[in-house]
């Protein structure tokens, strides 16, 4: 869903007869809805049944895809993409379902495999979308997404058992409203700040207003008897440092997604690009997701032998290494290909380890919501990376055939930012306690 519109993003103003600032909402709205819906859907799953909420989220995907496919203008497409964004909550809910139904010996490998599907989906989405755009009408992208939604819903009904573990209590509606307003304000400021101006009233109002509402929301959550998210659990060192690491990893991952495709597609005459087409670029980027899938069984074995903490540190180290590699070697397509493979290894290990660290540190009734917060942390990292990298590439440009294009120094600065963030993630992972709390769920081993 996130890479679905990447091949047509630059063409959307012409396709929809809209300004580039308006078409940016096609991506922004998906990010906003995903960030808000993920922790909320996790809590709903804990309370009312994880499979039930998964099916509802897939229903949003199906509805959003149909709305976008039938839309002749920008408004309908934005609405459809917003509905599609809600589906992101399926990932933490799926991981929570695995915790409920799988024996300990199979849990690590299963979580690693599901975590890898996020990278695989993104990697496969780009070449498939590029091929569709080159050969069919762009609306076909959303009809394909609708078909995938139908298949996913059928498979969930056929193979996923109904949830038996439920969290008691009432649903915290004021908490939902407060969290949605706070995250929307903060993410709007991050994602649109470069367009609006970082010191503009709109950016400052959205950002500072979001932070103020978030602080008020946190005060309320600590005092209400049945909160949307138990912040005391989220403040446990294992959970807190895992989520801080997730923010850095989200930044480092999306940094490569922003920079590498641009380098590959820029004209070779610019001194910073290689002149590849959209489809060729997608094929170069795609193997990183496949690497994530291939190392999933190895991740499960490593989790059992070494523990998720060491896995996370190793994964963050690989990501930092990939950016160091790019700083040293970046003058050939093969260099970018190799660096992207290293990113795939690092993200595969990290994304497999983080849910395990979360699950061994929270009560069973908090699994869905806590994994939702972890997914939200990654979203904060990716949205920040998108804005920061885009600002750097837009600020350091040279004119080529009458068009401003990023310089090689701009890409090198982005690689420095990725290396620093990856190193910060590695450092933060070392602060995660070696042992989980005594009340951890019995299905999760207490190693490393």
According to the model, what pLDDT value does residue 448 have?
46
According to the model, what pLDDT value does residue 445 have?
44
Distant-in-sequence, close-in-space partners of 116: CB < 8 Å, separation ≥ 6: 289, 292, 293, 295, 296, 299, 348, 351, 352
Residue 176 and residue 102 share a domain = no
DSSP state of 274: -
Query: What is the average per-residue pLDDT within 435-441?
Result: 52
Contact present, 312 and 242 (Cβ < 8 Å): yes
Give the separation between CA 314 and CA 17, rounded to whole angstroms: 47
Nearest CA among 91, 76, 73 for reference residue 29: 76
Per-residue burial over 280-316, b = 16 or more CB atoms within 10 Å of its CB, e = otherwise = bbbbbbbebbbbbbebbebbbebbbeebbbbbbbbbb
334 within a domain of the structure (yes/no): yes
> What confidence tier does 442 reach under pLDDT thresholds 50, 70, 90?
very low
Query: What is the average per-residue pLDDT within 265-294?
Result: 83
Residue 218 and residue 85 share a domain = no
SS3 label, residue 72:
coil
Quick check: 121 pLDDT over 80? no
Contact present, 316 and 422 (Cβ < 8 Å): yes
Separate counts of helices (H) and strands (E) for the chain: 19, 2
Cα 36 → chain centroid: 13
According to the model, what pLDDT value does residue 232 have?
84
Residue 1 pairs in a beta bridge with none
According to the model, what pLDDT value does residue 152 have?
95
Nearest CA among 250, 238, 245, 243 for reference residue 424: 245
Give the separation between CA 63 and CA 116, rounded to whole angstroms: 26
Query: What is the average per-residue pLDDT within 298-327?
Result: 89
Angle at 93 between CA 89 and CA 98, to 5 degrees: 150
Residue 341 and residue 201 share a domain = no
Residue 355 and residue 211 share a domain = no
According to the model, what pLDDT value does residue 432 have?
92
Query: What is the average per-residue pLDDT within 26-31?
Result: 81
Lowest mean pLDDT among 71-85, 220-234, 238-252: 220-234
Single out the residue in 192, 209, 227 at which a domain terminates: 227
Residue 326 and residue 210 share a domain = no
Query: What is the average per-residue pLDDT within 95-106?
Result: 84
Residue 400 pairs in a beta bridge with 403
pTM (two decimals): 0.81
Measured in degrees and rounded to the nearest 5, phi and psi for residue 286 equal: -55, -40
> What confidence tier does 10 reach under pLDDT thresholds 50, 70, 90?
low
69 within a domain of the structure (yes/no): yes
- Residue 119 CB coordination number (10 Å): 21
pLDDT digits (tens, 9 = 90+) for 391-409: 788 788 888 887 788 899 9
Quick check: 316 pLDDT over 70? yes
308 within a domain of the structure (yes/no): yes
Single out the residue in 183, 199, 227 at which a domain terminates: 227
Question: 203 is in which domain, residue-wise?
Answer: 172-227
Residue 152 and residue 189 share a domain = no
Single out the residue in 186, 211, 227 at which a domain terminates: 227
Contact present, 61 and 84 (Cβ < 8 Å): yes
Residue 62 and residue 39 share a domain = yes
442 within a domain of the structure (yes/no): no
Residue 402 and residue 307 share a domain = yes
Q: What CATH number corresponds to the domain at position 242?
A: 1.20.1250.20
Greater model confidence, 22 or 162: 162
Percent of the chain with pLDDT over 70: 95
> What confidence tier does 436 reach under pLDDT thresholds 50, 70, 90?
low
Residue 299 and residue 283 share a domain = yes
According to the model, what pLDDT value does residue 443 have?
43
> What confidence tier does 63 reach under pLDDT thresholds 50, 70, 90?
very high
Give the separation between CA 106 and CA 362, rounded to whole angstroms: 19
> What confidence tier does 132 reach under pLDDT thresholds 50, 70, 90?
confident
Residue 203 and residue 308 share a domain = no
**Joined tokens for residue 78:** 């934005």
1 within a domain of the structure (yes/no): no
Residue 344 and residue 210 share a domain = no
447 within a domain of the structure (yes/no): no
Query: What is the average per-residue pLDDT within 365-381?
Result: 79
According to the model, what pLDDT value does residue 4 have?
80
337 within a domain of the structure (yes/no): yes
Lowest mean pLDDT among 185-189, 236-240, 295-299: 295-299
Whole-number Cα distances in Å, 90 to 39, 95, 126, 210, 325? 11, 9, 21, 25, 34
Query: What is the average per-residue pLDDT within 289-307?
Result: 79
* Average pLDDT in the chain: 85
> What confidence tier does 269 reach under pLDDT thresholds 50, 70, 90?
confident
According to the model, what pLDDT value does residue 437 have?
55
Q: How many domains does the chain have?
A: 2
Quick check: 38 pLDDT over 70? yes
398 within a domain of the structure (yes/no): yes
Residue 216 and residue 280 share a domain = no
Greater model confidence, 289 or 335: 335
């Amino acid at each position: 869903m996130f890479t679905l519109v990447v091949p047509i993003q630059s063409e959307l103003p012409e396709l929809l007869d809209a300004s580039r600032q308006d078409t940016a909402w096609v991506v922004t709205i998906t990010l906003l809805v995903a960030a808000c819906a993920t922790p909320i859907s996790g809590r709903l799953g804990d309370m009312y049944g994880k499979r039930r909420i998964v099916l509802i989220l897939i229903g949003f995907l199906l509805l959003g895809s149909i709305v976008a496919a039938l839309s002749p203008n920008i408004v309908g497409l934005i609405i459809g993409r917003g509905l599609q964004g809600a589906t992101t909550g399926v990932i933490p809910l799926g991981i929570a379902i695995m915790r409920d139904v799988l024996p300990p010996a199979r849990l690590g490998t299963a979580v690693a495999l599901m975590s890898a599907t996020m990278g695989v989906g993104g990697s496969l989405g780009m070449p498939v979308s590029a091929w569709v755009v080159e050969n069919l009408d762009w609306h076909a992208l959303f009809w394909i997404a609708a078909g995938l939604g139908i298949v996913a819903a059928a498979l969930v009904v056929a193979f996923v058992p109904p949830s038996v573990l439920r969290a008691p209590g009432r649903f915290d509606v004021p908490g939902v409203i407060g969290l949605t307003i706070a995250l929307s304000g903060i993410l709007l400021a991050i994602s649109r700040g470069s367009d609006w101006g970082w010191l503009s009233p709109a950016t400052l109002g959205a950002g500072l207003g979001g932070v103020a509402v978030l602080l008020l929301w946190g005060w309320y959550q600590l005092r209400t008897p049945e909160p949307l998210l138990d912040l005391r659990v989220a403040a446990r060192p294992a959970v807190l440092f895992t989520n801080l690491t997730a923010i850095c990893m989200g930044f480092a991952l999306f940094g490569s997604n922003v920079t590498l495709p641009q380098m590959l597609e820029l004209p070779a005459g610019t001194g910073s690009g290689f002149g590849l087409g959209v489809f060729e670029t997608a094929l170069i980027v795609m193997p990183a997701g496949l690497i994530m899938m291939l190392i999933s069984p190895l991740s499960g074995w490593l989790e059992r032998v070494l523990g998720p903490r060491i896995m996370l540190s190793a994964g963050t180290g690989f990501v930092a290494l990939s950016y160091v590699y790019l700083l040293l070697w970046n003058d050939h397509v093969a260099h970018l290909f190799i660096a992207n493979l290293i990113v795939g290894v690092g993200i595969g290990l990290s994304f497999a380890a983080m849910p395990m660290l979360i699950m061994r540190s929270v009560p069973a009734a908090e699994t869905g919501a806590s994994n939702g917060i972890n997914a939200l942390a990654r979203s904060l990292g990716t949205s920040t990376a998108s804005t920061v990298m885009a600002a750097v590439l837009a600020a350091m440009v040279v004119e080529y055939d009458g068009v401003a294009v990023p310089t090689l120094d701009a890409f090198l600065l982005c690689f420095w930012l990725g290396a620093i963030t990856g190193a910060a993630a590695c450092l933060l992972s070392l602060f995660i306690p070696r042992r989980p709390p005594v009340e951890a769920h019995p299905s999760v081993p207490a190693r490393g």
